[in-house]
Amino acid sequence: MSYIVLDKNKCKSCYLCTDVCPKELIKKSDEIGKTGEFIVKFEDKENQCLGCSQCAIMCPEIAITEVHKE
Amino acid sequence: MQVYSTPKAIKENSNFTFCPGCDHGLAIKTIAHVIDELNIRENTIAVASSGCSVFLYNFLDVDCIESPHGRACAVATGVKRAHKAQGNNKFVFTYQGDGDFASIGLAESMHSALRGENITAICINNTNYGMTGGQLGPTTAMGQITTTSQNGRNREYHGFPIKTAEQIAQCEGTCFSARVALYDIKNIINTKNTIKKAFEYQNQNLGFSFVEILSSCPTNWKLSPKESHEKIKTELSQIFPLGVLKDVKND
Ligand SMILES: Cc1ncc(C[n+]2csc(CCOP(=O)(O)OP(=O)(O)O)c2C)c(N)n1
Ligand code: SF4
Ligand code: SF4
């Protein structure tokens, strides 16, 4: 199972990661982050994550700190 | 298997203080990955400048020195030469905004290139003075609205923008000059490879190496981070074409 590690305290709600995930696994959550906006969440109930790291490469805050690929 | 990790050249527990979606974060992260890959963290001295770029020393886990506005290439020259005189071959690079590099610091920047100073300069071109509130800068595009060009940049009053990477490529002491962008994955990876090449050229003592990064300033552009990347892709990269403008190894 591939997965990412998201540091919620670093997310600034720019949503750039939501556009690059080929499986659309990163979405706006209902949790407010440090900029006063909704931060993102990673949800992968069907184990679709490819471990491609595109979200991590795109995140300007290094809020996606790790990507693990199986 | 872990396939992505935070670069080691980023200080632990550091949080970028840039506006949400600002490409300064992406640029610094990309530089940190290159420092990791080349394994030069212990031997690197970064020269920060004035502007949003100034915060470099808070985030990069390398020795840093702060320079007065525009003077980063002059400071880097001194750092590189002083260490060389002691027999130390330090790796020295500057991180500057477009206002810093190409306006107030144009003389220092261009003469460093003309001297073929063996340093690397990285210039964040976000087409305005970001830190001070989005004023017109030397790279502001024709027609672009800023806080000091409310009707758009025009030829009569403001004149034309500078194409920095092309100008630096013209200097004989320049070994490498390129313009890159960060608006999608392909371009971020290309930016990393380009910076790596510029850094390697310094290690080979080939002269002045330069990378201009077309970057977003969502706050002053009054666009979302996504719209800002779209603007770079569709508008700015037409005005400031991406690519390698000089490479002594290929010319
Ligand atoms: C000698 C001097 N003049 C003016 C300033 C004010 N100042 C600080 S940052 C800045 C503009 C920086 O713009 P740029 O280099 O494009 O970097 P950005 O903030 O867009 O990353 C100015 C004019 C200063 N710090 N020092
Ligand atoms: S790219 Fe990073 S900062 Fe932006 S929304 Fe995604 S996790 Fe948050
Ligand atoms: S003002 Fe512009 S350049 Fe400065 S941190 Fe904000 S978005 Fe980035």
Mean pLDDT in residue range B124-143:
98
| A57: nearest CB among B188, B225, B226 | B188
Mean pLDDT in residue range B63-70:
97
Residue B28: other Cβ atoms inside 10 A? 27
What is the structure's pLDDT at B32? 98
Q: Cβ B5–A65 below 8 Å, yes or no?
A: yes
What is the structure's pLDDT at B11? 96
Q: Whose CA is nearest to atom 6 of ligand 1?
A: B132
Q: How far is it, in rounded angstroms, from Cα B17 to Cα B210?
A: 25
Predicted confidence (pLDDT) per residue in B148-183, tens digit: 999 999 999 999 999 999 999 999 999 999 999 999
Q: Whose CA is nearest to atom 4 of ligand 2?
A: A14
Mean pLDDT of chain B: 97
Mean pLDDT in residue range B50-68:
95
Beta strands in A1-70 (DSSP E): 3-6, 26-32, 38-42, 64-68
- Give the pairing type, strands B243-247 and B174-181: antiparallel
- At residue A62, does pLDDT exceed 90? yes
What are B217's two structure tokens?
């300033």
Confidence of residue B229 (pLDDT cuts 50, 70, 90): very high
What is the structure's pLDDT at A50? 97
Q: Is B48 in the pocket of ligand 1 (CB under 6 A)?
A: no
Q: How far is it, in rounded angstroms, from Cα A62 to Cα A66?
A: 9
Predicted confidence (pLDDT) per residue in B186-224, tens digit: 999 999 999 999 999 999 999 999 999 999 999 999 999
What is the structure's pLDDT at B163? 98
Buried b / exposed e along B43-80 (16+ C-beta atoms within 10 A): bbbbbbbbbbbbbbbebbbbebbebebbbbbbbbbebb
Predicted confidence (pLDDT) per residue in B72-111, tens digit: 999 999 999 999 999 999 999 999 999 999 999 999 999 9
Domains of chain B are: 24-247 (3.40.50.970)
Confidence of residue B123 (pLDDT cuts 50, 70, 90): very high
What is the CATH number that goes with domain A3-68? 3.30.70.20
Q: How far is it, in rounded angstroms, from Cα B52 to Cα B29?
A: 15
- At residue B13, does pLDDT exceed 90? no
Q: Residue A6 CA: which ligand 2 atom is closest?
A: 7
Q: Cβ A20–B185 below 8 Å, yes or no?
A: yes
- At residue B251, does pLDDT exceed 90? no
pTM for the whole thing? Answer: 0.97
Give ligand 2 pocket residues (Cβ under 6 A).
A 11-17, 40, 58-59, 61, 63-64
User: If contacts are CB pairs under 8 Å, which of residues 41-60 in chain A contact chain B?
Assistant: 51, 53-54, 56-58, 60
DSSP B68: -
Mean pLDDT in residue range B232-240:
98
CB burial class (10 A; 0-12, 13-18, 19+) of residue B230?
A: middle
Contacts of B29 in chain A (CB under 8 A): 60, 62
Contact B72, B94 (CB under 8 A): yes
Q: Domain locations in chain A?
A: 3-68
